[in-house]
């Protein structure tokens, strides 16, 4: 599905596995760091898009673990 959407050039789609964040359990910051890493790495690998990596640190400083994912996806 991701490949089909990306080939149409109408969307930028990315599959992001979040299973690795389960080990963080009650540590929101750790879990979000893991999930954001998966998103940033996936964008670089599958979409050849390094912008998320450039934005992540600044957005984390501004929004913290509870708001960074939303802020990153809103860019």
pLDDT at residue 60 is higher than 90: yes
Residue-level pLDDT at 2: 86
Domain extent, residue 10, equals 2-73
Over range 11-30, report the average pLDDT: 89
Average pLDDT over all residues of the chain: 93
pLDDT band for position 3 (50/70/90)? confident
Q: Which residues have CB under 8 Å from 24's CB, separation 6+?
A: 30, 31, 34
Q: How far apart are the first and last CA of the chain?
A: 23
**pLDDT-above-70 percentage for the chain:** 100
**Which pLDDT belongs to residue 45?**
94
Structural domain total, the chain: 1
Q: Give, for 4, the enclosing helix (H) or strand (E).
A: helix 2-8
Give the predicted TM-score (pTM) of the model. 0.84
């Amino acid at each position: 599905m991701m490949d089909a959407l990306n080939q149409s050039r109408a969307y930028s789609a990315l599959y992001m596995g979040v299973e690795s964040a389960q080990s963080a359990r009650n540590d929101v910051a750790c879990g979000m760091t893991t999930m954001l890493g998966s998103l940033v790495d996936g964008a670089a690998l599958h979409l050849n898009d390094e912008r998320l990596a450039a934005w992540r640190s600044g957005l984390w400083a501004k929004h913290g673990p509870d708001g960074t994912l939303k802020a990153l996806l809103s860019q």
